[in-house]
Structure 1
């Protein structure tokens, strides 16, 4: 595979959208020349696997490929780019197969423990969709709570336990009150944040809801 035009090869444009939990967080585009011994789908997959965006720490990582022929001498005399683009979806790290019960995670600041982490990025105007489209995500991360920043600042923490009832009991254990899991208000408040907060964050959430000083 060659990303520069090659005599006797077929030219393609490959767009790769990187998704986390179905939400796009980065996009890359490539112009490649495919020889007769190569498969364009395999080439696209290798480009994705070699990308910095294909990081196994990204939860529910998947990629969406849009592959379009740009060869000036298309098959059967067809003009370049004729026909519908080939679109397919894959999981480069096959995370679902490797970790069938992997719990959700979220980034956490190692300085203050807060999970309100942002990451530098850039966007380009999408003429077709008439909106700003994320084009790149950079390494620098910032904690919006304490202001700490740096490349790969965040640590990834699990939202375990994955089971809602186990989560309620884990929060109740932290609060040292075994009666809380049976409290309807506790079930409503803490059950609503299951899957979006860590146990420690849920403890703080309960404290805020009941004006309990930290």
Structure 2
């Protein structure tokens, strides 16, 4: 693990711990009135678990074990990170946890898997392509991790820009839309951050554990 990955991972863990602590202690993400009958944390955790399992199975069936582990790790990170950031944002924008925005919270969090796949798959697929097309003497795994991010950046930036254009356009639907759209914008940005700093390293860790012999060539 290089310094950038360690720093990014520690930053994510810190934000996740703060966000979840705020939510569990009732300081943020508090659903009041009719909203508390609509949303329960148990359904949010179950949705996250289902998303991680889906990513694991999708990666395994569509690609291989390395893809499966890297994708599921990215999805898990993005779920927790998105939840934490939205939890923190709800301190400033409590409308997120009020009707009608509260109705969309479970769906919004579940949608993180789509944003994750859009950002993480180009990185992981590029890493796999470089791994297959080069020898480890020519390009070690550490270099593949770095180059896969660089080579996929333009595509991922284009995807992010398109996502943000649509989301910002929806904000013109009225003030009530801000509480609904802002969490989705958070998820889109978290997914890009994860793809830039973590996804390729998840792939690198998986490939090192599952294919150590090929790595040493």
Structure 1 length normalisation: TM-score? 0.25
Structure holding more strand per residue: 1
Bigger radius of gyration among the two = 1
Structure holding more helix per residue: 2
Structure 2 length normalisation: TM-score? 0.25
